[in-house]
Amino acid sequence: MDTIEKLKILSEDSQYDLACACGTRKDDSRRRGLDGKWLYPVTLPQGGYSVLLKTLLSNACKNDCKYCPLRSETNVRRCTLHPEEIANVFMEYVRRKKVFGLFLSSAVIGNPDHTMDKINAVAHILRYNHNYCGYIHLKIIPGASDAAIEDSFSLASTVSLNIETPGKNRFKVLSGKKDYENDIIRPLKLMSKLTGAGNRFERVKCTTQFIVGASDETDSEIVDYTFGLYKRLNFKRVYFSAYQKGLGSPEIPGERQFLASPEKFFMREHRLYQADFLIRRYGFHKQDILFNEQGNLKLDKDPKEIWAENHPEFYPVSINRADRETLLRVPGLGPHTVGIMLKVRHERKITCLEDLGIRGKRLAKVKNYVVF
């Protein structure tokens, strides 16, 4: 296969890794770029959107991850790109001003450090041969050595390693080859240490991803680990990817459960993202995320509304006197609207929610919890 044909296959296979920005709105959705490669949108710090070239270096994997369609036992068309091939194609995109940066991952070729050597080689070529100073997101391969990980940090803007499941017992259901403590937790702790305050790589962002529903984990376990990733390890973002039917081995829990209720898998992912947003942006604590008797988030209502229903003593909230943290506890109010409220309050008393751009169902929801 030539470079373009390999890129079509490998960029298509990269869709299973969500540890970069992508969402549900039209502007957030991935799209096909030149030659069929996937381009993923990112929100720029100064506002607006640009895109990442997102691809695998190889899909020839030696691992047995039972949720993954690229695991060693499956019959898929395998190929591998040379570091120079990726670098040359990416720089052509850069010269044509088609991309904001690169997201590069890979299946495990031979062993973790051999794979990391190839991934890091792409970044080396871009940084030192092409003098590229822009955005590069590199995946850390589970089981990679400390030296290989540090090399990635010296080259990347963002690094990520998928935690996959909350805890080694859940992890054992999905892989017989990888060791959770050594291959996943050890690198995650090192990533946290390298980006700690005052450390050499403090500027590098760390992200990770859970594969939701492939194993038999509960939402409470995922949320507990998510808090740890943010509060103890200082990760910048946690992503959630709902297991999809037919991608994995028939023997895993996710495959059996999906057959019974496919729509629940994607709503579960959505609820976890809502809980994550409450943690990152709304100041919610671990005990504020409420679960059902099975330890899962309710699918018929978002976690913020559930908290409000369980704390009637907290309401009504004064629109004109409450502080930011209190206002963010009101169902229907988000950081953007609360920011507008606080700004308007410096100038005048708020007497009408409609003046703040709150309309329709959201308006009806907010009115149940506030006073003027």
One domain, residues 202 and 98: yes
Query: Are 202 and 344 found together in one domain?
Result: no
Confidence category of residue 188, pLDDT binned at 50, 70, 90: very high
pLDDT of residue 5: 85
What is the per-residue pLDDT across 115-127, written as a single tens digit (0 to 9) for each? 999 999 999 999 9
Asked whether residue 211 is assigned to any structural domain, the reply reads yes
The CATH number of the domain where 319 resides is what?
1.10.150
43-91 residue pLDDT tens? 444 445 557 788 899 999 999 999 888 899 888 899 999 999 999 999 9
Task: Supply the pLDDT for residue 250.
Answer: 84
Is the confidence at residue 149, as pLDDT, over 50? yes
- Does residue 141 lie in a domain region? yes
Structure confidence at residue 38 (pLDDT): 47
The yes-or-no verdict on residue 112 having pLDDT over 70 is yes
127 with 246, same domain? yes
Query: Which H or E run includes 155?
Result: helix 146-155
pLDDT digits (tens, 9 = 90+) for 255-275: 777 555 667 878 898 899 999
Task: Determine, yes or no, domain membership for 176.
Answer: yes
Does 321 have pLDDT greater than 80?
Answer: yes
Indicate whether 268 and 349 sit together in one domain.
no
DSSP state of 70: T
Residue 32 has pLDDT above 90, yes or no: no
Please check whether residues 365 and 287 belong to one and the same domain: no
What is the rounded average pLDDT for all residues in the chain?
A: 88
**Would 201 be classed as within a structural domain?**
yes
Tell me what pLDDT residue 18 has.
Answer: 54
| 306 found inside a domain | no
Q: Are residues 11 and 155 in the same domain?
A: yes
Q: Are residues 48 and 179 in the same domain?
A: yes
- Beta partners for 31? 39
354 domain residue, yes or no: yes
| Both tokens assigned to 176 | 């017989």
Structure tokens given for 53: 């070239």
Predicted confidence at residue 23, as pLDDT, reads 43
- 59 closest CA partner among 123, 14, 4, 3: 14
CATH classification of the domain holding 18? 3.20.20.70
Please state the domain count of the chain. Answer: 2
- Cβ neighbourhood burial of 34 (10 Å; 0-12, 13-18, 19+): middle
Whether residue 269 is found in the same domain as residue 360: no
Q: Scanning the structure block, which residue is given the tokens 């594969």? A: 211
Indicate if 147 and 70 belong to the same structural domain: yes
Is 31 found in the same domain as 69? yes
pLDDT number for residue 260: 54
Measure the CA–CA gap between 234 and 207, rounded to whole angstroms.
10
Q: Does the residue 348 lie in any domain?
A: yes
Torsion of CA 140, 129, 22, 96, to 10 degrees: -160
Residue 15 confidence (pLDDT) above 70:
no
Do 322 and 249 sit in the same domain of this protein?
no
Q: Are residues 189 and 332 in the same domain?
A: no
Q: Is residue 57 part of a domain?
A: yes
Range of the domain at 332: 311-371
Provide, rounded to the nearest whole percent, the portion of the chain with pLDDT above 90: 70
DSSP at 11 = H
Model confidence pLDDT, tens digit, residues 131-143: 999 999 999 999 9
* pTM for this model (two decimals): 0.88
Packing angle, helices 253-260 and 262-281, rounded to 10: 110
